[in-house]
Every structure is written in structure tokens, then in C-alpha cells.
Amino acid sequence: MAYCAAAVENTTPTLAEIFEPISDDLARVDTEFVRHVQSKVELIPRIGKYIQSSGGKRIRPAVLLMAARLCGYTGDRAVLYAAVVEFIHTATLVHDDIIDDAELRRGRLAVHSQWGNDITVLLGDYLYIKSMALALTHDELAIIRLLCDVTLRMIEGELYQLTKNGDPDVTEEEHFEIIRRKTAYLFSGCSRIGGMLAGRPAAEVEALGEYGFKLGVAFQLVDDLLDLTGSVQTLGKPVASDLREGKITLPVIALMNRGESSARALITDVVQTRTLTPERWEQISGLLAKHRTIDYAYDRAVQFAKEAKEHLQVFPPSDARAALAALPDYVLLRDR
């Protein structure tokens, strides 16, 4: 993505390099996921294995594990709660794909495309309940409350977004509220749990929460940009899927605010009819470039990434802090 070059140095490490200190723990999270989707109902572990092998980045559990390491926690509960987070995130993905009628997820058939909506709805429910059952294996009431609150906010975010689908008049603030609920609060919860496990002071837990929150917003803004600037090969799904599903994201909102009346009329018709022909997409791409709204949205992501790193300054320098500080830069550079 050309618009990344001026904002982030080329020395940003890869995701594998950032996560190298916790690679063994991340492998244990995968093992826990597989172990806890075992069931006498053979279909559940079969679908669980299909989901786990789809190539997700495990960024959310990694944030939890790295935050715990930053705070000096060395027990086993970080891996357990990281697995809980992965269950919650996976449940939202399988439900979201049904809601969006998305045929593909990461370049392969989405779960509902493979097994049908009825089975997939129940699987998502199973994963949500399993996440809470796992969390309840330890008496950490504050963490359980946090996880419940985050999950409720995510569901509220999905419902709120549904009320805005097909609405050409979505405002920036409304869009950011969707981002906060659907993405940022879970990132924030992950980093907070790392500090809570270590029993760190409230101010440090709050700083970690703000780090995760800002990182989550930046992550989603870049995700929205990739939907408009990536390729089918890198995204594993059609380009401009959001528009095809009636969703308006920040670059398009900015275009609607800045562009001529013809741009508003075009985008309104696309999101209300859910029809995006190659010709219409070529027009919209040209308008996004003309009004530089891709750059505008990316600049917002850069600002959130910068603010995320600033919240880490309350902690002394360490390898864990350096890894967490590198993650926002990776997010800005990612291409999928």
C-alpha cells in the first residue's frame, strides 16, 4: 500500500518476529482451543479444526500474552484467558459471516458456506458458552466481568452496524462507535487482562487498556482500507466487500462529505441495492483517489497507532514493551 510508506519505517519487524518471545505460549493457546472443542458430537471438533487451520493471526491472544509478560506475570492463566479470547473472537467471526452472507473467509469457504446457517449459528453459540465456561475454571471474577462486558459490547456493535447497513448518511462518529464496540473493546480487554493477572496498579492496567483500545481502532481502520485497496488474492475475499454488503466505512464517509453530488448518488445507490458492478467500482475508486479520502482514513489510523504506543511509556523499557510498541507499526503496514 503506497500510502503507508511515509508513515512507518521499513525496519518494522514481521509479526513472527514480534511474537517470537511468546511463540510457545501461542502454540499452547492453539492446543487449548483444539482441546476444548472436543465433543461427543463429532461435527464440533471437525468444524473447530477447520476454523483453526484457516490461518488467523492470533493478534488478540498475543496482545494478552505480551501484556502479561510486560507486567511480570509468569503463571498459566495467561494462556487460558488467551484461549478464552480466541473462542470469543472466533464466535463473532462465524456469526458475522452469516449476517454478512460472506461466502469466503481468508480465501476459503466460510463456515456457513460449508455447513449451512443453522449449524453455524449453533456453533457460534457453542463457542461463546465454551469461552465463559473456560473463564470460570478460575475464580477471577473481575476478569470474567470484563470478558462478559466486552462480549456484550461486541454483540451490541454488530446490532448497531446492522441498523446502519444501507444508510448513506452514516456519520464518522457513528462509524467510530461501531469500531469501538466491534473491535477496540476486545483489544482493550486483552491488554487489561495481562495487567490484571499480574496484580498491577490500576493506573498501569488503565494504560494497557488504552493501548489496546487505540491499537484496535487502528487495526480496524486499516482493515477497512484494505477492503478498498487490497486484492482478492491477499484479502481472500472480493474487493470492496463492505460496499457490497451495504456498509460505509471511513474513506467512503469522507468521500460523501467532500465529494460532488454525483459521488453521493452513486454510493447511495450501491449500498441500498447492494450491487457493485466493475464499472461502478472503477468510478468509486477514481473518486476516492481524487478526493484523497484513502489518505485521510490512513492518517487517522496512524494517529491512533501513535497514541497506542504513547500509553506504553508508563512501563520501563523491556523486550515485551518493545514488542507491544512494534505491533501498531505492523498493523499500519499489513497487507491482509
Per domain, the residue ranges of the chain are 23-321
Q: How confident is the model at residue 232 (pLDDT cuts 50, 70, 90)?
A: confident
> Model confidence over 271-286: pLDDT tens digits?
999 999 999 999 999 9
On the question of pLDDT at 109 being above 70, the answer is yes
pLDDT number for residue 52: 85
> CA-to-CA distance for 25 and 125, rounded, in angstroms?
26
DSSP summary character for residue 311: G
What pLDDT does 5 receive? Answer: 43
Render pLDDT for 261-314 as a digit per residue (tens, 0 to 9): 889 999 999 999 999 999 999 999 999 999 999 999 999 999 999 999 999 999
Judged against a pLDDT cut of 90, whether residue 182 lies above it is answered with yes
Predicted confidence (pLDDT) at residue 2 exceeds the cutoff of 80: no
How many other C-beta atoms can be found within 10 angstroms of the C-beta atom of residue 93?
Answer: 19
On whether the CB atoms of residues 160 and 182 are closer than 8 A, the answer is no
Q: What one-character DSSP code corresponds to residue 105?
A: E
Q: Tens digit of pLDDT for each residue in 308-333? A: 999 999 999 999 999 999 999 999 99
Fold type of domain 23-321: Farnesyl Diphosphate Synthase (1.10.600)
User: Are the C-beta atoms of 143 and 135 separated by less than 8 Å?
Assistant: yes
What is the C-alpha separation between 278 and 204, in angstroms, rounded? 50
